[in-house]
Amino acid sequence: MKHYEVEILDAKTREKLCFLDKVEPHATIAEIKNLFTKSHPQWYPARQSLRLDPKGKSLKDEEVLQKLPVGTTATLYFRDLGAQISWVTVFLTEYAGPLFIYLLFYFRVPFIYGHKYDFTSSRHTVVHLACICHSFHYIKRLLETLFVHRFSHGTMPLRNIFKNCTYYWGFAAWMAYYINHPLYTPPTYGAQQVKLALAIFVVCQLGNFSIHMALRDLRPAGSKTRKIPYPTKNPFTWLFLLVSCPNYTYEVGSWIGFAIMTQCLPVALFSLVGFTQMTIWAKGKHRSYLKEFRDYPPLRMPIVPFLL
């Protein structure tokens, strides 16, 4: 059996960082990263990006050395991805924050609305209903992070947690301040508007959960397998007939329902910003599906049926 020699160069300076001798031909990129870490422990595998070209794409951990377009002496280029943190940690942090922050405003803890309103309760039913919906949403997200989601990547850059938490925590505080304010005014069309909005919210929450379960079942635990998602017997998954990312469609729908229920401008802005970001993600995933699967359903749109 022939063995490979692998030299690892810095992608920016072209400096030789490591030379690996007698590497097994069936060694994966993940195994090469582990060998590299032995000589450079400050760069643990999750921080490493190895590529065939200094400006090329990162090689996947599961790619095998002998299947790469290299000779018996392979040259790989290294880039430091920076400090990493697990996706689970980021999700738990960014979702627990809004849950806690919203409740501070709901219970009107001191120093928020003035001394005379400390720990008082709103007389409007919609305020209490909004708290239940908001809390349910983030508790659901926390439980899904722990028990449902299967992540294709174990980590993300540490800096992302600050960006994500600023977004989620900041908007939670902003919308909670107005919804729970002593001078808050209920929706224009009263109970009928609230009931309609609640129905939209509940349906979309059920739909979002159903899609997450369907996506979970597509990927075995510990696997990075990708398959085309199709509708199941669950009616909420039938949206897969029209869009590639119905979980985002339902997520946006939930926040639209919450915005209608509370008739609160910060909620509407949060919905708009969220829709913009999720549209970007959905388009990326849609392009990835089209590129990877030749038989991908042609009628699907990224996030909005027939439009977008």
305 within domain boundaries: no
Fill in the DSSP letter of residue 109. -
Number of Cα atoms under 13 Å in the Cβ half of residue 249: 25
Is 124 inside a domain boundary? yes
Q: Give yes or no for a contact between 182 and 112, defined as CB atoms under 8 angstroms apart.
A: no
Residues 110, 257 within the same domain: yes
Domain span at 110: 85-292
Asked if 236 and 133 sit in the same domain, the reply is yes
Determine if the pTM surpasses 0.85: yes
- Mean pLDDT for back-to-back runs of 10 residues, the chain (308 residues): 85 91 88 92 91 90 87 89 91 96 96 92 96 98 93 82 95 97 95 97 98 89 79 96 97 98 97 97 95 93 95
- Both 287 and 171 in one domain: the answer is yes
In a domain, 299, yes or no: no
Residue type at 76 in one-letter notation: L
Q: Are 248 and 123 within one domain?
A: yes
User: Do 187 and 278 fall within a single domain?
Assistant: yes
The pLDDT of residue 207: 98
CB 154 within 8 A of CB 46: yes
- Element containing residue 6 per DSSP (H, E): strand 4-10
| Residue 17 dihedral angles phi and psi, to the nearest 5° | -100, -30
Same domain, 71 and 95: no
Domain count, the chain: 2
CATH number (domain holding residue 45): 3.10.20.90
In a domain, 8, yes or no: yes
- HSE toward the beta carbon, residue 263, CA cutoff 13 A: 14
- The total of other beta-carbon atoms located within 10 Å of residue 284's CB is 12
Residue among 183, 186, 180, 184 at smallest CA distance from 108 = 180
Is 302 within a domain?
A: no
What's residue 66's pLDDT?
Answer: 85
Q: Is residue 129 located within the same domain as residue 186? A: yes
On whether residue 301 sits in a domain, the answer given is: no
| SS3 label, residue 64 | strand
Question: Pick from 103, 91, 167, 174: which is nearest to 134 by CA?
Answer: 103
Same domain, yes or no: 261 and 182: yes
Q: Does 111 lie in the same domain as 61?
A: no
Token code pair at residue 72:
């018996």
Structure tokens at 252: 């946006």
Q: What is the CA radius of gyration of the chain?
A: 24
The reply to whether 49 and 101 lie within a common domain is no
Q: Supply the pLDDT for residue 252.
A: 98
Per-residue model confidence (pLDDT) at position 1: 60
Residue 98 sits in the same domain as residue 68: no
Instruction: Round to whole Å and give the CA distance between 234 and 207.
Output: 9
73-86 burial, b at 16+ Cβ within 10 Å, e below that, comes to: ebebbbbeeeebbe
